[in-house]
Amino acid sequence: METSTLVNRKENLAPSLFNDFFKPWDEWFDNGVWLKSINTPSVNIIESNNHFTVTLAAPGLKKNDFKIEVEGNILTVSSETEKEEEEKDANYTRKEYSYSAFSRSLSLPDDVNKDKVEATYQDGILKIELPRLHEKKIDNKKYIPVK
Amino acid sequence: MKKQAEVRNDSLVYPGSYVPLMDDALASKKMRGIIPEKISFPLVNIIELNDSYKMEVAIPGTRREYIRISVDNDIITISLVDEDSKHPIKNSFLMHEFEYTCFKTQIKLPEFADPEFISAEYKTGILYMYIPKSSEKITVQHKRIIVY
């Protein structure tokens, strides 16, 4: 199952067992109010026939701030930017996010071509394209023509 | 052109590039069809500076034309209607943690802030707003703020 291998959230250590036992309550956790820290950017992964697209919402950074590594089957996106002086003693009256330093890892499925991974950063979204080695047909539907 | 005459005053943008903004009626019509639970709220940082408040709303991956800001009395309303966003097929998501296509959020302004001179700018996925401080209480009935 690609779904389970690609999804590897560091902070989401609570096992699936949790979901079953605390059904109405786990929504609190799902919403990320408790478990998700303010400096972990959100990730979307979209699967298509010939590639996976990983998008990471980390606004307010520069493209040079990102460090993307593939080690074995693990894709790690991290960022460590020098905080400006102004930022350090800023008087926050409300602080809900801070993406200046983070690290997120995802384990990749086997059929990713690791040599052709490409990343772009635009409008606060880091987009990583991971081509597949073999094209996979997702569409299992069979269309039957009417004679 | 009849259409031109109908363009409301507050739907005009700054000179330079003419991008007609969505007017209030159309935007609220678009918002109506959205299931409330599906709306995600953007994360907000507010920093107090010497003479102003700096608000940073994280809205990655959109364009300034889609952001609408208005001030009514001391409530600032930020909404986003992104019509052009491509919706991938729902089950092609292996992981779906964010989506910034539509939201509406309201924030109460501090007591001594001047809503008349709020400036807004969209840069690298963040909407920056500067709200000047004032020495007395200022209230505005309704004001639209243009995002640059």
B94 vs A3, A38, A94: nearest CB: A3
Name residue, tokens 């330079």: B16
Domain boundaries, chain A: 2-83+97-131
Range of the domain at B87: 2-145
Q: Where are the beta strands (DSSP E) in B7-101?
A: 43-48, 52-58, 67-73, 75-81, 93-96
Which residues of chain B make contact with A43, given a CB cutoff of 8 A?
Answer: 95, 97-98
List the CATH number of the domain containing B136.
2.60.40.790
Contact B61 A57 (CB under 8 A): yes
Contact B61 A124 (CB under 8 A): yes
Per-block mean pLDDT, blocks of 10 residues, chain B (148 long): 43 53 65 57 86 89 86 86 67 78 83 86 90 83 84
Domain A2-83+97-131 falls in which CATH fold?
Immunoglobulin-like (2.60.40)
How close A145 comes to chain B (CA, Å)? Answer: 24
Name residue, tokens 């991938």: B88
Contact B62 A123 (CB under 8 A): yes
User: Two tokens at A18?
Assistant: 């949790």
User: Two tokens at B88?
Assistant: 């991938």
The domain total for chain B is 1
- Check residues B95 and A59 and name the one with the higher pLDDT: A59
Q: Which helix (H) or strand (E) holds A119?
A: strand A118-122
Give the pLDDT band (50/70/90) at residue A120. Answer: very high
**Which pLDDT tens digit goes with each residue over A97-117?**
888 788 888 888 888 888 888
How close A64 comes to chain B (CA, Å)? Answer: 13
